[in-house]
A and B are shown apart, each in its own frame.
Chain A
Amino acid sequence: MSEPAKVCDGQGCDNPAVVQLTQVVDNKSTTQYLCKKCARAKGISAQPPSSLDVSDFLAQLGESGSSGSESGTEPCSFCAMTFDDFRESGRLGCSHCYTSFEPRVRRLLSRIHGAGQHAGKVYLPPDPSSAELDRRIAGLRRSLQHAIEAEDFERAAVLRDLIRDHEAAQT
């Protein structure tokens, strides 16, 4: 059975609480139950990130296209998308947009994903440089380790062959 709903601890507020806020100040722990509105007033997001609201994220971050002091306010040189266009649609127009709006994109990614550095598969383009090969091999080794730990020996064998092929290509 579900727990009975708690009422918001905000002053004069009777809304149902959706956030449990526990704070430790001077070794003393206090817990408050807050509704969405009161939580927002305290600067706390009551909603976990959803894949639908990139525009909301940008609004929360105060990211607008007209704050001219920061780099990345010019339209993208490849697809001519402006940051305001992106704010409106939540979609970037091309790969260059990531560098055109880099500081803002980096902040946004960190907010959405809680991380900024790719830790997955390393892409090897059709005509790779030596540095790209190195990164790829390091990525494959991570996957190999994972496959061994998971006792997925079929996959481990495939990854081992791939690593061997790339190492041969390097020399």
Chain B
Amino acid sequence: MTEDYFLIPDFGLDWLDAGGPEADIVLSTRVRLARNLQGHRYVCRASAGDREIVFRTVARAVNRGALPPDTALMRMNELGRRTQQILLERRLVSSELIGEAAPDSGVGVAVSSGNAVSVMINEEDHLRLQCLMSGLRLMEGWNRVDKLDEELGGLLQLAYHHEFGFLTSCPTNVGTGLRASALLHLPGLVLTKEIERALRGITQVGLTTRGLYGEGSEFVGNFFQISNQTTLGQGEEDLLDHLNRVVATVITKEREARQVLTRDAGAITEDKIWRAYGLLRYARALDYVELMNLLSGVRLGVSLKLLPSPPVYWLNRIMIFSQAAHLAEAAGRTLSTQERLAHRAQYVRQALRGESGSTTTDPGV
């Protein structure tokens, strides 16, 4: 039954709609809270039986209304491999939950697609609450995830210490358990070679930068994720305020860099952007990194109004639906590496052609 949710093409993907503030630069905002249940071993020390008890306890709270009514509760071991990968590609679960080292039972995720919130169960901590939204909306994300935390905390006895705050398996998360991040597209800073300085500055003010897929992931397609590093000693609002201020500064710097590009290297920039568009429009094989780099050029072109289309929303969708599991799902079978490159290129061509008006093909279909 749970796999039926994937018949909904946009399940868990509201954050792609580019409807949030600064959405041409900030792809998404994510706010997550780490929580554990009192009196249960953490996942790294838990037996299969321990995990099962935690899963059932959380499932009961979900069924008693801790999450919104549209919530889908899924056990990972009841999902096919491809569906698990689709959840990962939609950023609804982490690789810890489905990777090689993931426990084979008692792990899952509850997703309320309509409210942009989800809860991973038995990841590194018993509970990982997250809100994922379009654009820069840290406080709104916090309000939503805090509401969820209140509901769950009212039904479950959480691990909390009056001095250390919310207790987590890794001491880097203890206290608020809050990790908030904004995913920024910064081609202007990269092309003007200001990015190193910007990243250094971000680190110096106590924040962390990561790639598209979080911890340990590389910088691809000029996407940079900026998040808070510490979680103890400051209130949630103060942590979010600080992050918000820094992200706003980076956005200003990015806009300035884009102005410099168009003023001092207008012809070169325009040429690069149209070349990127042309390659995407006609390529017969694309690997994901190449696609992301070309999409970055097109995204910049749209933002600078050098390209009349496609809308940012469309580019966001292409980014998600051209990943390996989504392509395999669309093909209805496993694809070899060569086939995947060809399917990706074909999908992108169709998506861009559809957008330009000659067909009505939706990239998600």
Residues of A within 8 A of B (CB): 1-3, 48-52, 54, 78-81, 89-95, 98, 105, 108-109, 112-121, 123-126, 135, 142-143, 146-147, 150, 152, 155
Contacts and interface: CB of A to CB of B under 8 A. Distances in A.
5 contacts: A89-B44, A95-B36, A109-B174, A115-B232, A123-B153
Contacts of A90: 170
Closest 6 CB pairs of A and B: A115-B233, A118-B165, A93-B45, A120-B176, A113-B232, A95-B159
A118 B159 CA distance: 14
A126 B167 contact: no
B154 A51 contact: no
A165 B139 CA distance: 23
Given A79-B45, A123-B153, A112 B172 contact: yes
Nearest to B166: A123
Interface in B154-208: 154-172, 174-176, 178, 193-194, 196-197, 203-204, 206, 208
Contacts of B230: 49, 112-115
Interface of A is mostly: loop
Contacts of B69: none
Interface residues on B, range: 35 or more
B170 A98 contact: no
Given A95-B36, A125-B160, A116 B232 contact: yes
A91 to B, nearest CB: 4
B356 interface: no
B317 to A, nearest CB: 31
B164 A109 contact: yes
Nearest to B158: A123
Nearest to A76: B45
A77 to B, nearest CB: 12
B231 A79 contact: no
B163 A51 contact: no
B215 A109 contact: no
A94 B41 contact: yes
A121 B233 contact: no
Contacts of A3: 197
A50 B45 CA distance: 24
A159 to B, nearest CB: 10
A50 B208 CA distance: 8
Given A79-B45, A119-B235, A146-B235, A125 B158 contact: yes
A54 B171 contact: yes
A108 B173 CA distance: 12
Contact of B169 (A92, A117, A125, A135): A92
A109 B167 contact: no
Given A91-B42, A95-B159, A125-B160, A54 B153 contact: no
